[in-house]
Structure formats: C-alpha cells, structure tokens
Amino acid sequence: MMGGTFDPIHHGHLVAASEVAAKFDLDEVVFVPTGQPWQKSSKQVSKPEHRYLMTVIATASNPRFTVSRVDVDRPGPTYTIDTLRDLRAQRPDADLFFITGADALAQILSWKDVDELWSLAHFVGVTRPGHELDGMGREDVSLLEVPAMAISSTDCRTRVGAGNPVWYLVPDGVVQYIAKYGLYAAHSGTAQPGVGELAPALSGSDDQARTE
Ligand SMILES: Nc1ncnc2c1ncn2[C@@H]1O[C@H](COP(=O)(O)OP(=O)(O)OP(=O)(O)O)[C@@H](O)[C@H]1O
Ligand SMILES: O=C(O)c1ccc[n+]([C@@H]2O[C@H](COP(=O)([O-])O)[C@@H](O)[C@H]2O)c1
C-alpha cells in the first residue's frame, strides 16, 4: 500500500508505486489517501473527497492499482497504525508492504505507535530528489532507487495558483479535475464547489478544509 495526502496525486507517486510493485512482484498496490493528515495540520489541505477522487482518476487505468477509503472514512487524525490494522482486517492472508518516499520515512519515528508499526507491514523506502534515503539499519525496511521525479504536490499547487501548467506532472484527468473544481486557484478558500456541487448552482462551498 502507499499512503499519502495526494493533494494532488502526481507522477512521482505513481512511478514509486509502479517500481516497488515490479521489484517485489506485488499483486496489488492500494493507494490510501489520508483523512486528516495531522502532521500537515498547519497547511491548507483539500477536502478528502477531492483527494480521493483524484487518486481514483490517476490510478484507474492500471489493473493492479486500487484506492482504499479506510483513512478518508475514519474520523479523526489519520494514523498509519490504524490504516495497517484496517487493511489487514480486510485482507487477512496478504503480505502487506508499506511504500514510502525518503522524506516520509525520515519522519516515521514521530508517527503514532511506531514500535508496533514494524510488525504490521514490511516497509519499502524509495529515493526522492532532495532527500536522503535512510533505512535506519532495520532489516524490515527495504530501500529502492526509483527514477528521480522532482515533483511535489506543493509545487503542483503553487504552479496552479500562479497560473502555470501542471500538464505531464500529474495525469491528464487530474489536470482536468483540478480545473473543473477550481482547486489550488489563487482565490482558493472561497467560491469553489465541492464534489457534486458544480451543477446546477455554483454554490460557493469552501473547498479547502483545514485538517484540525
Ligand atoms: N517525487 C516523489 N518521488 C518519490 N516519492 C514521493 C514523491 N513525491 C511523494 N512521494 C512519497 O509519496 C508519499 C505521499 O506523499 P504526499 O502525498 O505527501 O506528496 P508530496 O509531494 O510530498 O506532498 P507535499 O508537497 O504536499 O508535502 C510519501 O511517502 C512521499 O515520500
Ligand atoms: O501514523 C502517523 O502518525 C503518521 C504521521 C504522518 C504521516 N503518516 C502517513 O504517512 C503517509 C504519507 O503522509 P504525508 O503526510 O506525507 O502525505 C500517509 O499514509 C500518512 O498517513 C502517518
């Protein structure tokens, strides 16, 4: 599985997942968008439903990629310990692999109940430009070099806000979804429709929700 805020999902996420799936011969990669990413609570994060749908659009064409709602549907802050327990309950016979970029792996010791995390999945850390990949010397953490994709969701949001293109950084359907709902526009936070609110009236809901 690969967890992320996916605000928006971009080709760095997709390449990382594809590379790990090939290297470890995985049957399925489950993308799990966060509900409330508590370590990003100081930032504006788009509504979970938008992030979930962009993840569905981005992964739809790959028969081995699926998207789970477990974190989006669980109330409260998103903790990976809960994600892994939920996925294990749904797939009791599966070997779980948790795919993470070098930056997220470097933060893992600050995650909730980290000591229990290791028994629930095998962790795979992938390279990411600008970040040191460190497996902390653990046998249950594998490290994998993947093609360097100097893309971040932050940069995608900044580009959209400045009117610059994100074509080829994110899948085409995600470019179109961002435009359709006016995500990340400079005026974001006002007059943007939520999912299902585009027609018949532009009802002016708040599309950017704080995570706390
Ligand atoms: N370009 C990339 N290459 C490899 N891994 C990546 C890349 N971008 C993100 N990841 C990994 O994908 C997971 C989810 O990342 P996330 O959704 O926070 O994207 P992000 O681009 O880091 O977002 P933001 O810029 O908003 O912090 C994390 O494990 C992260 O390390
Ligand atoms: O469990 C935690 O305490 C925890 C803290 C921060 C991040 N995570 C997970 O790390 C993954 C990447 O998160 P993020 O915030 O970098 O998009 C995602 O699955 C998060 O739920 C988990």
Q: Which residues pair with 123 in a beta bridge?
A: 98, 141
Question: Considering only CA atoms, which residue is closest to atom 14 of ligand 2?
Answer: 4
Comparing 201 with 40, the larger pLDDT belongs to 40
Q: How many CB atoms neighbour CB 148 within 10 A?
A: 12
Q: Is 23 helix (H, G, I), strand (E, B) or coil?
A: helix
Q: Which residues contact 145 (CB under 8 A, 6 or more apart)?
A: 126, 127, 133
Q: In this predicted structure, which of 48-62, 104-118, 180-194 has the lowest mean pLDDT?
A: 180-194
Whether 111 lines ligand 2, by a CB cut-off of 6 Å, is yes
Half-sphere exposure of 139 (CA within 13 A, CB side): 1
Query: How far is residue 31's CA from residue 141's CA, in Å, rounded to a whole number?
Result: 19
Give the total residue count for the chain.
212
Q: Which structure tokens are listed for 151?
A: 């893309």
Alpha helices in 101-189 (DSSP H): 102-106, 114-117, 153-161, 172-181
Please state the atom number of ligand 1 nearest to the C-alpha of residue 102. Answer: 31
Q: Per-residue pLDDT tens for 67-81?
A: 999 999 999 999 999
Whether 102 lines ligand 2, by a CB cut-off of 6 Å, is no
Whether 78 lines ligand 2, by a CB cut-off of 6 Å, is yes
Closest ligand to the CA of 111: 2
Whether 5 lines ligand 1, by a CB cut-off of 6 Å, is yes
Q: What's the whole-model pTM score? A: 0.93
Model-level ipTM above the cut of 0.90: yes
Whether 210 lines ligand 2, by a CB cut-off of 6 Å, is no
- Where are the strands (E) in the chain, listed by range? 2-4, 29-33, 44-46, 65-67, 97-101, 122-126, 141-144, 208-210
Q: Per-residue pLDDT tens for 110-149?
A: 999 999 999 999 999 999 999 999 999 999 999 999 999 9
The letter for the amino acid at 211 is T
